Chains A and B, each alone.
Chain A
Amino acid sequence: MTEKVESAKKVKIPRHDMPCQEPQVRAHNFEEVALGYSQETAIEEAKRCLQCKNPKCVTGCPVSVMIPEFIKKIAEGDFQEAGNVLKVKNSLPAVCGRVCPQEAQCESKCILGIKGESVAIGRLERFAADFGMQSGKSEVVKPQASGKRVAIIGAGPAGLACAGDLAKAGHAVTVFEALHVAGGVLMYGIPQFRLPKEIVQTEIDNLKQMGVEILTNQVVGKITSVDELMENGYDAVFIGTGAGLPYFMDIPGENLNGVYSANEFLTRTNLMKGYKFPEYATPVKVGKNVAVLGAGNVAMDSARTALRLGAENVYIIYRRSRDEMPARKEELEHAEEEGIQFRLLTNPVAIEGDERGWVKSLTCLRYELGEPDASGRRAPVAIKGSEFDIPMDTVVVAIGQGPNPLVTTSTPGLELNKRGNIVADPETLVTSKPGVFAGGDIVTGAATVILAMGAGKKAAAGIDEYLKGK
């Protein structure tokens, strides 16, 4: 009875807002937008949790974080222990607390969300992880060595999660990364203002402390191959090379100066720190008017980045309507608050250039929504004769990415689907090649950070099982 009264009371307490930089200020800097809970707010928010005996929130988490347990520690004011509990299941909690679409995962299952607002699990995760990072007392327990060696290709979310779990299981792990830093999309893709690179680096350094060896500048497929790794004494290989191949629209004018793939635009800005040019030597440039083609999270990141680089008008150009936009609601709202302009039911058919080969304008068609298609979304239909031009200096193409073929084409015997993704068993993530596992975007196509981490963890379990039988 008392429990029921308690929960009825808690439903009525609204969840605590995330303090943020003011939109007009943050639109002109690269500092983190969301500032994080204070200790007091974190405790208050943590106290809203009902501590369910059979927690539904955990079922919504792709890596099964012990959610009620870590929140209980926050409510008790034991922030250090909260971080330790988080780390049992999640090697990169400060990252996940920031970039997971919690509204579609853990928080969507929270009982409080039925009649009121769900517990802000993501914000609490971020709080506990940040506390652990600042205290610098993250616990490292070296497990007993198994004597087995695992090679991981790609240091993105899937590879790092896999590496973390395998290291915990006592296996010697070496991660091969093509770029000069580890982190994958966390470093080159997601902007500083959403995910500070210092935080990603600290979490990666923690993995190294656990004994994970990370080799950068290693382009597997060129400097070595999966077969060579197996010949050189690795007992298993995990491929987590992601979806790093940019798609273009295939419309006239896409090779004009001023047209970027979102990958290039974000890599120059985030990984190479082009926003600090000329202190950092890599240039990135935007004109007055910037069009971002697409409406996913990558498009939002590109648009908000363009604004911070000094663009006056930044347009999101999308052929469907607002309801169909694949970006997270929170990112959409942030973009809107900052002044990003949405040109919906609009699709470009050509990019016009000047005689010097620079972008001059974008020719678009207006669209309307027709009947629902196979995916259940209403199909966009072009309106005849609706062609119009918008003056434009820069165009960023953010319509999706495919699997980079460098590793797959250099690995004979690896089964791929028709889109070039690796075929892997959904439970063990083992591929058609003995001892070779794969997970993350290279298997599923472009998805989310946390799904990739979930796949990395699943693969780690699959690999551990495989190595025990070896």
Chain B
Amino acid sequence: MYHVVKKRLLATGIALLEVNAPAVAAKVEPGQFVIVRMDELSERIPLTVMDFDREKGTITIVIQDVGYSSAIITGMNEGDEFQDFVGPLGVASEIENYGTVVCIGGGLGIAPVHPIARALKEAGNHVISVLGSRSADLLILEDEMRAASSEVVIATNDGSQGVKGFVTDGLAEVLAQGHQVKAIWAIGPMIMMKAVVDYTRSLGIKTIVSMNPIMVDGTGMCGACRISVGNETKFACVDGPEFDGHLVDFDLAMKRLAFYKDEENRAKARLECNHEGGHH
């Protein structure tokens, strides 16, 4: 039922999958996520929505091969099915006309920032997107982001495209141009989002981050995804995933992400072992 209608490899180990899920596509808004499960033995994985098409009834997700389950999903092809595809989940982004806004996407984080940038632009904002990656060949969705934004600034760690450095360097360049930035969305690895909020805190610019903690059900029944925001415990799946970045305890959030490192390594090793065992 939830079959892949289109697959595209965006970079090594990063796949875009357009999945048939009409009921989810009818309701999803920018900033929300889905939870997927490939088969009976699978775990439930949260994935932020990169795009949706209400008429075609599809949801587009982007996933990077970083572990056991993500390796299996990035290996899925057109026609393959997810057994479960739950959503939309979480609270939608607060889209309104702020004036000039900056949308920062770091690495895989460019995918979830895409629908937010587009919606902000449609709402009349001047949207400056800052895209970051380690190098030019790992930069994803540049064309889509150009279409969704008013301006695009690219930063690569090795300087192979755009500004040399991090997304914070890209943001510094935007601010140096004298833009009156009213709000910033920053989505990417926790360490990147922390760097952005540390930078914008002193500038007093409202900065929204999308948290990506460990999740199980995604409906508020377990608290696996709890994070600390302004010293209050919040469940990212129902209270978020977007929060005021200046209030988020990133050190705690990063420690919590490492909870299952040993088990994740075990699972990954098993997958590699299976491959050597004759599947390939």
Does the CB pair A283–B264 fall under 8 Å?
A: yes
Smallest distance from the beta carbon of B91 to chain A beta carbons, Å? 10
Does the CB pair A216–B263 fall under 8 Å?
A: no
A91: Cβ under 8 A from any B Cβ:
no
Does the CB pair B255–A257 fall under 8 Å?
A: yes
Smallest distance from the beta carbon of A214 to chain B beta carbons, Å? 14
> Mask for B210-228, Cβ within 8 A of A = 1, else 0?
0000001101111110111
Complex interface residues of chain B between 225 and 269 (CB less than 8 A to chain A): 226-228, 233, 238, 252, 255-256, 258-260, 263-264, 266-267
> Mask for A355-399, Cβ within 8 A of B = 1, else 0?
011000000000000000000000000000000000000000000
Which A residues are in CB contact (< 8 Å) with B267?
277-278, 281, 283
A268: Cβ under 8 A from any B Cβ:
yes
**A406-B220 contact given A272-B44, A281-B68, A281-B267, CB 8 Å threshold:** yes
A77: Cβ under 8 A from any B Cβ:
no
Which A residues are in CB contact (< 8 Å) with B24?
223
Could you say which of A82-90, A164-172, A242-250, A314-322 contacts chain B? A242-250
**A219-B219 contact given A180-B83, A255-B228, A285-B263, CB 8 Å threshold:** yes
Complex interface residues of chain A between 236 and 277 (CB less than 8 A to chain B): 244-246, 248, 254-255, 257-258, 260-261, 263-264, 267-268, 272, 277
How many angstroms between the C-alpha atoms of A222 and B224 in the bound complex? 20
Which B residues are in CB contact (< 8 Å) with A405?
220
Does the CB pair A267–B222 fall under 8 Å?
A: yes
B41: Cβ under 8 A from any A Cβ:
yes
Does the CB pair A222–B88 fall under 8 Å?
A: yes
Does the CB pair B260–A255 fall under 8 Å?
A: no
Selected from A218, A245, A254, A258, the residue in CB contact (under 8 A) with B221 is: A245
How many angstroms between the C-alpha atoms of A290 and B224 in the bound complex? 18
**A263-B85 contact given A180-B37, A223-B23, A285-B263, CB 8 Å threshold:** no
B179: Cβ under 8 A from any A Cβ:
no
**A272-B233 contact given A222-B87, A246-B221, A246-B222, CB 8 Å threshold:** no
Identity of the chain B residue whose Cβ is nearest the Cβ of A246 in the assembled complex: B223
Smallest distance from the beta carbon of B116 to chain A beta carbons, Å? 18
Complex interface residues of chain B between 58 and 113 (CB less than 8 A to chain A): 68-69, 83-89
Does the CB pair A217–B84 fall under 8 Å?
A: yes
Does the CB pair B84–A244 fall under 8 Å?
A: no
Which B residues are in CB contact (< 8 Å) with A264?
216, 222-224
A404: Cβ under 8 A from any B Cβ:
yes
Does the CB pair A281–B69 fall under 8 Å?
A: yes
Identity of the chain A residue whose Cβ is nearest the Cβ of B82 in the assembled complex: A217
A200: Cβ under 8 A from any B Cβ:
no
**A216-B84 contact given A278-B266, A282-B43, A285-B260, CB 8 Å threshold:** yes
Number of interchain pairs (Cβ within 8 Å): 109
B42: Cβ under 8 A from any A Cβ:
yes
B56: Cβ under 8 A from any A Cβ:
no
Does the CB pair B216–A277 fall under 8 Å?
A: no
Does the CB pair B263–A280 fall under 8 Å?
A: no
How many angstroms between the C-alpha atoms of A248 and B86 in the bound complex? 26
Which A residues are in CB contact (< 8 Å) with B216?
264, 267-268, 272, 282
Among A258, A279, A357: residue with most chain B CB under 10 A: A357
A340: Cβ under 8 A from any B Cβ:
no
Does the CB pair B238–A263 fall under 8 Å?
A: no
Which B residues are in CB contact (< 8 Å) with A244?
219-221
Size class of B's contact patch? 35 or more
Does the CB pair A278–B238 fall under 8 Å?
A: no
Complex interface residues of chain B between 3 and 28 (CB less than 8 A to chain A): 23-24, 27
Does the CB pair A219–B86 fall under 8 Å?
A: yes
B270: Cβ under 8 A from any A Cβ:
yes
Does the CB pair A406–B219 fall under 8 Å?
A: yes
Does the CB pair A281–B233 fall under 8 Å?
A: no
Which A residues are in CB contact (< 8 Å) with B83?
180
Which B residues are in CB contact (< 8 Å) with A255?
226-228, 233, 252, 256
Which B residues are in CB contact (< 8 Å) with A357?
252, 255-256, 258
Identity of the chain A residue whose Cβ is nearest the Cβ of B21 in the assembled complex: A217
Which B residues are in CB contact (< 8 Å) with A277?
263, 267
Does the CB pair B87–A223 fall under 8 Å?
A: yes
How many angstroms between the C-alpha atoms of A279 and B68 in the bound complex? 12
A416: Cβ under 8 A from any B Cβ:
no
How many angstroms between the C-alpha atoms of A258 and B223 in the bound complex? 13
A467: Cβ under 8 A from any B Cβ:
no
| Chain A to chain B contacts (Cβ below 8 Å), 13 pairs | A180-B37, A218-B23, A255-B228, A257-B259, A258-B259, A260-B224, A261-B222, A261-B223, A278-B266, A281-B69, A282-B43, A357-B252, A404-B220
Contacts beyond the supplied A180-B44, A254-B233, A356-B255: 7 A-B pairs with Cβ under 8 Å: A223-B88, A248-B233, A255-B256, A264-B216, A267-B216, A267-B221, A405-B220
Query: What residues make up the interface of A, taking CB atoms closer than 8 Å to B?
Result: 178-180, 216-219, 222-224, 244-246, 248, 254-255, 257-258, 260-261, 263-264, 267-268, 272, 277-283, 285, 356-357, 404-406
